[in-house]
Structure 1
Amino acid sequence: MTRKVFIQTHGCQMNVYDSARMLDALRVSHAFAPTDDPVQADLLLLNTCSIREKAQEKVFSQLG
């Protein structure tokens, strides 16, 4: 059975790039497949940036 990873990215374009690199690494080293459904995921990654205040506020809101 393939393990699934859900990645949510907030912040700058560099974070989008970093998330793509993390997904590539997880695919190669651990055979993870991406999913758009966090409920179906075996691994949740939240990639954030605290430099941009709005991105930081979104993350805190999602975490509760």
Structure 2
Amino acid sequence: MAFTGIDEAIAAYLRRSGKTQAELAEELGMSENTLSWKRRRKREFKLSEVIRIAEVTGCSLDEMVPKEEG
């Protein structure tokens, strides 16, 4: 399954797992507010955070990061 971005992968994981955003944020070692800001693109995810999200959600980096066309 290909996602169009990190937020879509996170949303699918939360639906599938029945976890809340707060529970995921705790697993990732960040506050719920920080995760929310990053999901809404008010702040950027660090590469290490993207890798950790991939590990927790079971998604590959290729699924979460859209490829640029051109």
TM-score, with normalisation over the residues of structure 1?
0.34
Greater C-alpha Rg: 1
Q: TM-score, normalised by structure 2?
A: 0.32
Higher strand share: 1
Q: Which has the higher helix share?
A: 2
